[in-house]
């Protein structure tokens, strides 16, 4: 039997099963509720239904009324009651709750009842909206169910950088709208940076008269070349009335806005408007000035700015940045040198600490709390500061251990300016790819924290920087669907997460994305993996989770485009396989307005059984630990062995030794096959090991399993096959499965005790 064709047919069967499940029930709520029970029957929503509210829930009722009118052309009546009658079709009941955001939702054949505090009622409505069909199909049926729900974390955030590319009030409102649909509740508004100042400050009008027009001045030759921006940037700023309008809009959706005013670095736009703020150089050298001078004039200026910011934003937190400060510039500044002498500061890091603590003191005098990026730990952390940990987790872990509140937003998992797949196939971005799976698997409360320390983790946040994001459609593409993973990992209980269920639910959201005219990145084709096979005939059936999608493809290595012939899914591909074949696809959806590219390589390998005497085989794979700074396994000195041992499980639990060298694991042994058949061999490592069967590479090293999925689909005869490999042990892969073997016909995992020998 042809192994590839068999395997893909199996995938197609599972895919069809998922489609049938989606027809049967619509319980695909994101984030996953704490308790959800599906019941028999349905509630039919008609235009005659009444939304019954009390005084406290009236605003949420009006929100629901407007949503149904806009998206489903249903004009329901809204009635305010002292006590809502039980016969009312939709009931929004305010109740006291010990947990902010908790709610209950009960859908019965005759009524829908949502109960909770203010935020809870709103979140219950969002769950109700995801029970509605994604199209206005009469009659609108809602599956009966019972939900009791509450958030895990109180900080469930998304940022938006409007400094590099300005986004309009309406674009920001839509950003907040979609956040609210998924119960995200903190909008981090990055309002100032080197490339633009976006908030009106009355006392210093040049901040917007000049600082919001950096792109204009760059084109005039009066500002440096904006080479870091994809298109030279987009100018603009928000008036105070604009800010108030957005705040009011966010409050109606229970979204808190966190404003960020960058300091002491990333201040080039402010310095361009007011040059006296810039760090002075006693040597007279001319260079790019991004750092604020730590002078009394600067502190007075920033306090004036913050006073006006504080007057606008009701949020208890103000973000002051603090990241990537070029502190070395201070050592040439007369003002900074004088400050060091006056305050007894030993180095530039202590100047940074002094700067942050001084701003913190001012914010505290205004009853506000300071938030900063993890660089504010340098030189000593301000007493009441909350840390956003972006340079990995180390800063957040250190701050939590010091009993400071922390928001986890680490590279790479929470950075959405990274591409979502192979960089060559996606819009340009910073950093290696970050898939939705990588986001979903992130855990904000590190195992390095004690239970008491973990309580200082307020939650997590996804970040997007707009150097390479020129417009709102591009922004939506970069943020969604990854933001849905942030929503579930911050709302749902840790025990209630399930990545396979989430993937199914996520794909059901595309109907809503279309309803909201949201340009989310399309899901991948099912089965587009990099494959090693010993089959001479390549057969593949391509499937897609969105109805109406079309595909253009080639098997000659050339990328198809919109001029190629399009066809609907499923697609049958068959070809002889002598060496390797490169499959390239161009998938479109919703009348070709959205598209994605994918590439998969299918390689042929001759796999021959060994003639080793099976009688002498011992269970388990042999492995050797090698300590080295070498990053290429082909160049390892394998004669210097630190430890030798045997591993009897797919999860080897090899602990890395952090002594400056890498902990390499060299494996050797045999794959024992007891029954002729078709098998799938994969690795559960997020970053793959190098695995060889009969000396042929079947899994290639250093490929992210979600970005470039790999598998070997092999027809193996009864016997033993030489198995070897290499990987670097780290704190992530020691909890993951090194090698997984499945029976292709049943997708059943084979017990490692039956196939791992040496």
Q: Which has the closest alpha carbon to 583: 554, 624, 619?
A: 554
Q: Which two tokens stand for residue 295?
A: 């002078």
Residues of 592-624 as b/e, b for ≥16 C-beta within 10 angstroms? eebbbbbbbbbbbbebebeeeeeeeeeebbbbb
Q: How far is CA 178 from CA 184, 380, 513, 518, in A?
A: 9, 38, 9, 9
List, in sequence order, every residue forming a beta bridge with 65; answer none if it has no partner.
Answer: none
The burial of 679, by beta-carbon neighbours within 10 Å (0-12 exposed, 13-18 middle, 19 or more buried), is given as buried
DSSP 550-598: EEEEESBSPPP-TTSPPEESSEEEEEE-SSEEEEEEEEEETTTTEEEEE
Q: Which two tokens stand for residue 329?
A: 């510039």
List, in sequence order, every residue forming a beta bridge with 43; answer none if it has no partner.
Answer: 142
Q: Which has the closest alpha carbon to 131: 29, 21, 46?
A: 29
Angle between helices 169-181 and 240-251 (to 10 degrees): 20
4 and 539 Cβ atoms separated by less than 8 Å: yes
State the SS3 of 61-117: HHHHHHHHHHHHCCCCEEEECCCCCCCCCEEEEECCCCCCCCEEEEEECCEEEEEEC
| Contacts of residue 478, Cβ cutoff 8 Å, sequence gap at least 6 | 416, 417, 420, 427, 429, 464, 469, 521
Q: Which has the closest alpha carbon to 726: 650, 663, 676, 646?
A: 663
Q: Which of 28, 188, 190, 266 is catalytic?
A: 266
| Contacts of residue 278, Cβ cutoff 8 Å, sequence gap at least 6 | 267, 271, 289, 291, 292, 293
List, in sequence order, every residue forming a beta bridge with 111; answer none if it has no partner.
Answer: 108
List, in sequence order, every residue forming a beta bridge with 712; answer none if it has no partner.
Answer: 532, 681
Q: Which helix (H) or strand (E) holds 180?
A: helix 169-181
Total residue length of the chain: 758
Q: Which of 193, 235, 375, 453 is catalytic?
A: 193
Q: Which of 231, 296, 324, 630 is catalytic?
A: 324
| Contacts of residue 124, Cβ cutoff 8 Å, sequence gap at least 6 | 92, 103, 104, 105, 114, 115, 116, 147, 149
Does the annotation mark 266 as catalytic?
yes
What's the distance, CA 469 to chain centroid? 16
Dihedral-angle region of residue 543 (phi above 0 means left; psi in -120 to 50 means alpha; beta otherwise): beta
Residues of 178-188 as b/e, b for ≥16 C-beta within 10 angstroms? bbbbbbbbbbb
Annotated catalytic residues are: 193, 266, 324
């Amino acid at each position: 039997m042809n192994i590839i064709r068999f395997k893909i047919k199996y995938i197609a069967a599972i895919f069809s099963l998922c489609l049938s499940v989606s027809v049967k029930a619509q319980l695909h709520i994101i984030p996953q509720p704490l308790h959800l029970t599906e019941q028999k029957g349905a509630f039919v929503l008609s235009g005659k239904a009444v939304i019954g509210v009390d005084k406290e829930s009236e605003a949420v009722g009006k929100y629901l009324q407007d949503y149904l009118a806009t998206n489903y052309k249903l004009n329901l009546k809204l009635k305010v009651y002292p006590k809502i009658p039980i016969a009312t079709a939709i009931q929004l009941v305010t109740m006291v709750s010990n947990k902010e955001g908790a709610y209950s939702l009960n859908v019965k054949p005759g009524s829908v009842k949502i109960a909770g505090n203010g935020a809870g009622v709103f979140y219950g409505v969002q769950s109700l909206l995801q029970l509605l069909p994604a199209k206005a199909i009469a009659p609108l049926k809602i599956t009966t169910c019972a939900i009791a729900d509450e958030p895990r974390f109180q900080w469930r955030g998304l940022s938006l950088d409007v400094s590099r590319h300005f986004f309009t009030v309406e674009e920001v409102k839509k950003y907040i709208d979609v956040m609210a649909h998924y119960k995200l509740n903190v909008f981090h508004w990055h309002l100032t940076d080197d490339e633009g100042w976006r908030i009106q400050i009355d006392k210093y009008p040049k901040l917007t008269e000049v600082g919001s027009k950096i792109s204009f001045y760059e084109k005039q030759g009066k500002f440096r070349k904006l080479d870091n921006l994809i298109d030279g940037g987009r100018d603009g700023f928000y008036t105070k009335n604009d800010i108030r309008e957005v705040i009011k809009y966010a409050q109606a959706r229970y979204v808190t806005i966190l404003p960020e005013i960058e300091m002491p670095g990333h201040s080039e736009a402010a310095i361009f408007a007011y040059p006296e703020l810039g760090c002075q150089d006693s040597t007279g050298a001319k260079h790019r000035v991004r750092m604020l001078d730590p002078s009394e004039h600067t502190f007075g200026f920033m306090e004036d700015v913050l006073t006006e910011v504080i007057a606008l934003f009701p949020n208890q937190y103000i973000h002051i940045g603090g990241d990537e400060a070029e502190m070395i510039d201070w050592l040439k500044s007369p003002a900074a040198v004088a400050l060091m002498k006056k305050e007894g500061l030993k180095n530039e890091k202590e100047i940074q600490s002094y700067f942050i603590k001084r701003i913190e003191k001012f914010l505290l005098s205004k009853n506000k709390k300071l938030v900063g990026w993890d660089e504010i730990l340098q030189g000593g952390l301000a007493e009441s500061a909350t840390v956003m940990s972006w340079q990995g987790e180390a800063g957040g872990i250190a701050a939590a251990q010091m009993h400071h509140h922390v928001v986890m937003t680490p590279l790479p998992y929470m950075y959405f300016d990274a591409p979502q797949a192979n960089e060559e196939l996606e819009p340009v971005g910073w950093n290696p790819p970050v898939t939705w799976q990588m986001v979903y698997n992130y855990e904000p409360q590190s195992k390095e924290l004690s239970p008491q320390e973990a309580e200082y983790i307020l939650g997590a946040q996804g970040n997007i920087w707009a150097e390479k994001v020129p417009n709102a459609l591009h922004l939506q593409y970069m943020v969604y669907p990854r933001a849905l993973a942030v929503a579930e990992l911050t709302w749902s209980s840790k025990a209630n997460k399930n990545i396979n269920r989430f993937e199914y639910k996520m794909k059901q959201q595309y109907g809503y994305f279309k309803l909201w005219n949201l340009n989310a990145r399309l899901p991948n084709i099912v089965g587009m993996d990099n494959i090693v096979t010993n089959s001479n005939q390549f057969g593949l059936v391509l499937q897609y989770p969105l109805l109406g999608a079309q595909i253009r493809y080639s098997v000659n290595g050339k990328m198809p485009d919109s001029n190629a012939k399009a066809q609907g899914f499923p697609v049958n591909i068959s070809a002889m396989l002598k060496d390797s074949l490169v499959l390239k696809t161009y998938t479109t959806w919703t009348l070709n307005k959205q598209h994605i590219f994918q590439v998969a390589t299918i390689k042929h390998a001759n796999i021959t059984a060994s003639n080793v005497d099976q009688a002498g085989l011992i269970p388990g794979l042999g492995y050797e630990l090698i300590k080295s700074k070498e990053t290429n396994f082909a160049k390892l000195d394998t004669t210097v062995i630190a430890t030798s041992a045997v591993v009897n499980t797919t999860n080897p639990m090899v602990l890395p030794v952090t002594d400056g060298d890498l902990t390499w694991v060299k494996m050797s042994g045999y794959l024992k096959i007891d029954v002729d058949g078709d098998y799938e061999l994969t690795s559960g490592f997020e970053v793959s090991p190098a695995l060889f069967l009969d000396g042929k590479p079947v899994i290639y090293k250093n490929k992210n399993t979600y970005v470039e999925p790999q598998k070997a689909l092999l027809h193996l005869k009864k016997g033993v096959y030489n198995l070897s490999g290499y990987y670097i042990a780290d704190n992530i892969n020691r909890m993951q499965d090194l090698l997984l073997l499945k029976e292709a016909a049943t997708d059943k995992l084979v017990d490692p005790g039956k196939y791992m020998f040496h």
